[in-house]
Each structure stands twice: as structure tokens, then as C-alpha cells.
Amino acid sequence: MAKVKPFRAIRPAPDKVAHVTSRSYEVYSKEELKAILKFNPFSFLHIINPGFKFHKKVSGAERFQLVHNRYMEFLEERVFIKEKEPSFYLYQIKKNDFSCCGIFCATSVADYRNNVIKKHENTIESRERLFAQYLDTVKFNAEPVLMTYPDHPTLAGIISKTKKEDPVYHFTTPDRTTHFLWKISSSEAVRSIEKTFSEMDSLYIADGHHRSSSSELLAQWHEAKNPKHNGKEAYNYFMSYLIPESEIRIFEFNRLVKDLNGHSKESFLVKLDELYRIKKTDTELYKPTKKHHFSMYLDGDFYSLYLRKNVLPLEDPLSKLDTHILYKTILEPILGIKDLRNDKRIQYGYGKHNVLRMKTEIDKGNFKVGFNLVPITIAEIKAIADAQLVMPPKSTYIEPKLKSGLTIYEL
């Protein structure tokens, strides 16, 4: 049974929210980051880039402490305010043809330990430990873990009713995304949300595996040094954003490889022919349409690759996954790429125009061959997680991508 609970959020003052929230730190260019830090004193980026105030680069424990200091300043200056009562927060995002609406809440570390909260990616121990140390110093969650749940009529009803009320926030960001936030604090609605999730067997992590695992590690540390530990402490939970499965959007990552591992074009195609039916296409930008079907761009031409029957045992959810099939049939045995995460010969692309970008990069000579796949489905993600298996790196690019600093959970 999944345990979720309301929390007293730290959140931006309503007149400043559009200036405070930020995208993930890593997506900003150096120029964009510098401009925001220079001209927007309310940006959450000042908190996670605290050295800007002192015109110096900071790292490690020094940076962590300065992040905490900047956060306390935002509280003291009333850029952030603290809720008086625990609440759930309904958050809706609208952009072009995409919309989703979900619930900010506190989710249980115990559920993560016990595989009620299910994962489909491996985490790196050094990153877990570093982020746990960060959380231990700064004492807040500002980036929620994205999780999905099966569409449920009770939750849909609460969401529909809440959206008829005036939102706490309604603002649009420069990327033309519109954001809405509502508080859910009535005892009846809170109990109904808690009860509905408690009847669910599982929640599934879509994005935020390292944030989840680091929160679990942090809880281990605090439990070990707290003789009065009772399971109700703030460190036993971490902030998540829960959305219905039907509202998540999944894109594929393509694969671009710098060389053919010593093969000529002709010998490479002969190798592929052992496992795939190969057909050169006349389409300018060719994308696959079915599972176990890949698009390949090589030497100015697109090819369709159809996996031949019975060439691979498709016995479990991982073996049936297209990213795994591509790795086991082409990337590892033919192109010699064993480490998908660290091999410098392979790069990844995602998004609406990724086939065009793939073609452009290969035409420029930056890469030799590229592969495009159909997106993985939420059903495949759940099957992998249920079987306690792990997807290959860069199997999914998932939306929504959430803002930092919209709601904060204090540890």
C-alpha cells in the first residue's frame, strides 16, 4: 500500500512566483545562467548557484552550506513563505499540445525500501552519497520526484472539483508554459487522497531515481543517529509529484555512433543482414512505427531495420525492450560499444525533431551512423519495474519536466 501525506510547503510569494521558479540547473547555457543571475534577484538559481554573490566558484561542502544560507535569506526576505497547515498541492502544466495535472505530496522512504515505490533505472552510488550529503546540509527538497499512478476516478473527481476553485498561482513562463497551483487542505479531501493511494499496490518512478535513492540514504543516516526515531520525522519522506499514467509523455532517445568499429559500409550491412530485414527507404526523414523496428541513417540514406523472427529469445520485459534489443544485436556485438553510459563513441538525442538532428549531425561528419526507435510505453516501464529489472541508459525522455522552487519540502 502506498503512503502519501500532505506537507507544509515552502513556496514563493504569489507576486514573485514567476521570477522564482527555474528549470533544472543543468539545462541552462552559461550565457543564459549568467544573465538570469545578473538581472533576476528572485530566481531560485541564486540559491543553487550561491557563489555568484561572492563572484567566485564554490563546490563541495562549502557550496552546500552556502546553498542553505541563500535559502534562509529567501525565507527572511519573504521571497519564500511557509504554509500554516499541511496540504496537498494540485499542479497543472499547459504548453502547446501538452497538459498534465498532478499532486505534490510527501512520499515514504519506507515505500521506496520495500519496493512499493518501483524503479526501472540503476543509480550510481557516488551520486547517491553526494546528493544525500547535499540534502543533509541544505535541509530541503526543491525538485520533486516524478511518479505515476493508475488513472483513478476518485482522484480525478477531486482534481476536477479543485480546478473549479481559484488557483493560488496562475502564471506563464518565457517558454510559453502556463502553470496553475491549487491548495488541497480540507480534511475530507486530504483523507480521501490518502485513502485512495493507500489502496494502490505501487507507485512508479518516471524521473528522479537518484533523488529517491539519496533520500533513502539520508533517512538511513538520520535513523542511525536518532535514538528517538519513530518514523514520523520529516527525513522519512521526500517530495514527489504524482500524475496519472495517461498524462505522462514519453519520447525516445536516438543513438548516434562515431564510427563503424572498423567495418566498411558494405561489411556492416552484411552483418546487420544476419539479424534484420534491411530496406533502403525513399523517405527524407524516416521514423519507425512498430516495436522491434528501427530506423537507421548511414552515408546519406535512411534504412528500415526489421528484427528477424527467432533471432533473439524474447522471454522477459527487458529482452523485449527495443533499447535492449538494439544494444544486444548491433551496438555491442558489431559496433563494440559495451558501456552505454560512458563510451565516448556514442551520444543520444531526444525530442520532436531528433531524427532531423540525427541526420544533420551525420551529414556534417560528426557521426557515422544513427538509429531511431519508437518510444517506450508506460506499460513497458511498469513491466520492467515489476520484474525488478533495469532499462539500458537513455531509454526514455519523459515529460513533464518540473520546475525547481515551486514547492519545497523541508527535511
- Across 260-280, average pLDDT: 96
Per the structure, how many domains does the chain have?
A: 2
**pLDDT reported for residue 200:** 97
**Shared domain check, 344 and 213:** no
**Shared domain check, 212 and 91:** yes
Band of residue 60 on the pLDDT scale cut at 50, 70, 90? very high
- Across 166-173, average pLDDT: 96
Sheet of strand 293-298: strand arrangement: 276-280, 301-307, 293-298, 369-372, 253-257, 346-350
**pLDDT reported for residue 284:** 83
- Across 269-279, average pLDDT: 96
**Shared domain check, 290 and 234:** no
- Across 97-102, average pLDDT: 94
Band of residue 353 on the pLDDT scale cut at 50, 70, 90? confident
146, 398 Cβ separation under 8 angstroms? yes
pLDDT in tens, 105-152: 999 999 999 999 999 998 889 999 999 999 999 999 999 999 999 999
Q: What are phi and psi of 86, to 5 degrees?
A: -65, 140
Q: What percent of the chain has pLDDT over 90?
A: 89
**Shared domain check, 163 and 276:** no
379 inside domain:
no
Amino acid type, 104: F
Q: What is the DSSP letter of 144?
A: P
393 inside domain:
no
**Shared domain check, 221 and 127:** yes
**pLDDT reported for residue 122:** 87
Band of residue 362 on the pLDDT scale cut at 50, 70, 90? very high
390 inside domain:
no
**Shared domain check, 343 and 231:** no
The cell for 126 is 557516488
**pLDDT reported for residue 175:** 86
pLDDT in tens, 173-230: 988 999 999 999 999 999 999 999 999 999 999 999 999 999 999 999 999 999 999 9
**pLDDT reported for residue 74:** 97
Query: Where residue 334 sits, what CATH number does that domain have?
Result: 3.30.1760
**Shared domain check, 192 and 272:** no
Q: What are phi and psi of 240, to 5 degrees?
A: -135, 160
pTM: 0.93
365 inside domain:
yes
Give, in order, the Cα–Cα distances in Å from 15 to each of 81, 171, 178, 405.
12, 10, 16, 14
**pLDDT reported for residue 312:** 87
State the residue for C-alpha cell 541526420: 359
**Shared domain check, 169 and 27:** yes
Band of residue 25 on the pLDDT scale cut at 50, 70, 90? confident
392 inside domain:
no
Band of residue 255 on the pLDDT scale cut at 50, 70, 90? very high
**Shared domain check, 285 and 205:** no
Q: Please work out, in degrees rounded to the nearest 5, the angle formed at the alpha carbon of residue 407 by the alpha carbons of 228 and 411.
A: 15
**pLDDT reported for residue 283:** 79
Domain that holds residue 273: 253-374
Q: What are phi and psi of 186, to 5 degrees?
A: -65, 140
**Shared domain check, 285 and 231:** no
34 inside domain:
yes
Is residue 90 scored above 90 in pLDDT? yes
Is residue 323 scored above 80 in pLDDT? yes
**pLDDT reported for residue 211:** 95
**Shared domain check, 75 and 193:** yes
User: What's the mean per-residue pLDDT of the chain?
Assistant: 95
Instruction: Work out the end-to-end distance of the chain between its first and last CA atoms, rounded to an integer number of angstroms.
Output: 23
CA dihedral 362, 366, 369, 374 (to 10 degrees): -70
**pLDDT reported for residue 152:** 97
Band of residue 310 on the pLDDT scale cut at 50, 70, 90? confident
329 inside domain:
yes
**Shared domain check, 278 and 209:** no
Task: Bin 409: left if φ > 0, else alpha if -120 < ψ < 50, else beta.
Answer: beta
386 inside domain:
no
**Strand pairing report for 117-118 and 203-207:** parallel
Element spanning 162, H or E: helix 153-162
The number of helices, as runs of H, and strands, as runs of E, in the chain is: 13, 21
